[in-house]
Structure 1
């Protein structure tokens, strides 16, 4: 049998760890607060509230109330089957889906999927051209 080494695994060099924040770095905003999350990223509701507060001059609490009120109004309109137009962004609408037969993955069992409703989004030409 070979003798096993009792030596501990090598640690990562100190440079690989996140550097401590100095006085100059403390003044800069944290990267998590940025809305530009890069490709495939997601803007969280808190980030949206921060942007509304910053651009409108409202407090964060007031901006959160405004964002919540807007979302509630959009959801309520969609529940009632109405379309919601957001100028420069697009239109949210409710579409009916037909009943259909599907296949359960893994068992290949045929199942009946009932008719339902889904939310569709049509992008505004302004936004489409800007992307």
Structure 2
């Protein structure tokens, strides 16, 4: 699967370069120009769109693409920044939040949030 991000102009250039691909992910609403480029250069069988971009794409364009046999799949992207702070704090759960913050270099408020959340989940 090819993933396309960025400005419309960049996406159009990439579409011309990639050639035939069965599955494509586009992180932008599909407008007339992008739909035409996809049909001319890529001929995908499936297009994946984030839910927010799917909603902003014209229903006429979605129907037209589905009419020529392209399946449009809306996906719910993962949000937020993944962290491993819980793992770090679990290592030092026997210490007080201030000591953990000093030892790890994490912000005290962040440590307190995760510390008390973990203690609550552990039943302490």
TM-score, normalization by structure 1? 0.19
The structure with more helix, counted as a fraction of residues:
2
The structure whose Rg is larger is 1
The structure with more strand, counted as a fraction of residues:
1
